[in-house]
Chains A and B, each alone.
Chain A
Amino acid sequence: MLVFAISDKGGTGRSVTGTNIVYRHALQGNDVCYLDYDFGSPTAGAIFSVSGVARGTRQNGLHEYLRGECPQPRRVDVWAESDREGLRTRPPGAGRLVLLPGSEGGGELSALTDEIIGRCVQLFGRLEEEFDLCMIDVSAGRSFTAELVLAATVRMPAVPFRWLVFHRWTRQHIIAAAGLVTGADGLLDVGTRFGHDADDLRDRIRYVRTAVLEPDSAELVGLRDEQRAWLSACDSELRELAGRHSVGRTAMLGKIPLDPVLQWREQLITDEDVLASKIANAETAAAFDELAKKIVDDNAWEGL
């Protein structure tokens, strides 16, 4: 299964949520890999705490591979190469967790050629042979990278794939996320141009809300009644807005609560962070865990 992670704007928490989902999926016993296709700023290495590739790799990064400068992209075994103690040993029963870092200073793709699409197809085909889940972090917004993976998936009709669109729970983000999917030059528009079926493609797209502040959450206990009432009114307004833009509950795969740890540092939330040092909230870890299950659960992906 290929899962493409995209967001309407930068700073939505796409990478940090994507990596956490992949991490949880590995803990659930699956072999997973994470491809850093965010060529403008390949920082997935930092989230996995692999300092050698914190800003991408100097050699054999994905960018070089796609340009045909190396035969195979570099693979980083997170369980072996992470600097974080809690990540350095593979927990019993966990699957493989592999990162394919981008190239340091690679820059966005500037054009889409047939050779690049061919190499992308070859890479996806090989990874799909050995990993239960391959998450591809496509950069924010409309980009050649998004076009590349849309073009590549058309050429491999038997390989299952899904899209996750990450957005924050605000007016601007809801409208932008809807635009990214259904707007002009959005995913559906470009996808059909490359040969995807619009309805089929729409069924493969789900939204994930990030940094959500629930009106009834524990964080809001200290608020004044007026503030709480205002937040609640905002929330229902947003829900109504989301519904109008087809970004509502039915098209949503999950939501990640606002967590201070994720606000201040992009990192994987381990069980140790929740149980031992208690810096992260249990709800956040549970949300990642549930998303990691839902991502492969066909019931959550039935046609809308």
Chain B
Amino acid sequence: MLVMGEVHTGLLQNSGEISESTCRQVLGITAGETVRVSRRPIVHALSPERLTGVDCTLPAASRSRVRGVGTVVSRCAVTGGRVAQGSSYVRVVRSEADRRLPWSHYLARPGVVEVLGKAKAADLAEGFTGDPTPGSPDGACLNLGAVSGRFLDLVQASPLLDRRAPFKIPRTSLRWVAETGEPSIRFTLHTEQERTLRLTHPGPFTPAVVDLCEDLATHDWLLTSLLVIVERARIGTTPGAAAVARLAPAIDHLLHLWMPAARVEEWLTPFWDSLERRPGFTRQWRSLVDRVRDQVAVNTLALLSASAETGRR
């Protein structure tokens, strides 16, 4: 029917970036299973996958009660030794039975949630990516964000991290729904930290779609965070040196991490390309990076001319 997932992204709670070997240890959340690391064009480490059993209602825009039983697949990732992620997703399918089957049935289908009874894919997709209905106590509703958040906590609480992050920055969450059909992509910003993505791709679902969503989430977080840091610097209203001092953490820790679509399979790159045209992630990133570098350049010039002035005297 459809696939839904949620990615939480945050700054790894460490003073500097962590090495590839530390990444392996931090992400070794399941004994005996290896952490997958790719090195080019940026170090990206992915933990083994873990399952969470669920038996709960699924979010439906029509507020009809849809019961789903199965397992959620979750994993953590660290990009560039600096950006941490917790990511979960489920494939929603219709159950062939009209009652809950033994758990062995669901364990044999990792990442699949079977819907008992009637449900429309569009209704579920709307319910999952739409704004939560205010006042509804959905403690019993499938909450992929809570699962992803917990996996991100798992990384952040690692004893190998010193928890002295160079700056404070909120996590962002990207909620996504993928369906098969005529290709289209819609990326929406909601509150300061919440984003949704509706994706329709040709052909059947593969985990490469999850990679695409995680890649998008990483870059959206980078962009959001750089915007926050530039805003905090209050360029123009604070003295140049103070503004540059506030921009410095971005230069030290973020600017080199921009690597869009690095881990996206060939057949999915058109989706990235369309987001690059509108709204234009890289365009905004470039302009921000230029702004940061120009501030540094202007400040350096001011310092140079000041020291030349004192030398002349």
Chain A interface (Cβ within 8 Å of chain B)? 29, 31, 59, 69-72, 92-93, 95, 122, 125-126, 128-132, 156, 158-159
* A125 and B153 within 8 A (CB): yes
Residues of B within 8 A of A72 (CB): 146, 149
* A59 and B137 within 8 A (CB): yes
Shortest Cβ distance from B137 into A: residue: A59
* A129 and B168 within 8 A (CB): yes
Interface of B, secondary structure class, is: loop
* A129 and B13 within 8 A (CB): yes
* B164 within 8 A of partner (CB): yes
Most buried by B among A29, A93, A126: A126
* B232 within 8 A of partner (CB): yes
Residues of B within 8 A of A128 (CB): 163
Given known contacts A92-B237, A93-B237, A122-B153, A158 and B232 CB-to-CB distance under 8 angstroms = no
Shortest Cβ distance from B150 into A: residue: A122
* B234 and A93 within 8 A (CB): yes
CB contacts between A and B, total, < 8 Å: 50
* A31 and B168 within 8 A (CB): yes
In addition to A129-B11, A130-B168, 11 A-B residue pairs with Cβ atoms within 8 Å of each other are A71-B145, A95-B232, A122-B153, A125-B157, A128-B163, A129-B156, A129-B168, A129-B169, A129-B171, A131-B168, A159-B163
* A130 and B169 within 8 A (CB): yes
Question: Can you offer 21 A-B residue contacts whose CB atoms are under 8 A?
Answer: A59-B137, A71-B139, A71-B143, A71-B146, A71-B149, A72-B149, A92-B234, A92-B237, A93-B237, A93-B238, A95-B232, A122-B150, A125-B157, A129-B13, A129-B165, A130-B169, A131-B168, A132-B168, A158-B162, A158-B163, A158-B164
Most buried by B among A59, A93, A128, A129: A129
Chain B interface (Cβ within 8 Å of chain A)? 10-11, 13, 135, 137, 139, 143, 145-146, 149-150, 153, 156-157, 161-165, 168-171, 232, 234, 237-238
A129 to B: closest C-beta gap in Å: 6
Residues of A within 8 A of B168 (CB): 31, 129-132
Residues of A within 8 A of B162 (CB): 158
Q: Give the complex CA separation of A104 and B125 in angstroms.
A: 34
A265 to B: closest C-beta gap in Å: 31
Residues of B within 8 A of A92 (CB): 234, 237
B262 to A: closest C-beta gap in Å: 25
A31 to B: closest C-beta gap in Å: 6
Shortest Cβ distance from A69 into B: residue: B139
Q: Give the complex CA separation of A131 and B137 in angstroms.
A: 28
Residues of A within 8 A of B171 (CB): 126, 129-130
A33 to B: closest C-beta gap in Å: 11
Top 8 nearest A-B pairs by Cβ distance? A158-B163, A71-B146, A130-B170, A130-B168, A132-B168, A71-B143, A122-B153, A93-B234
Most buried by A among B143, B163, B232: B163
Shortest Cβ distance from B163 into A: residue: A158
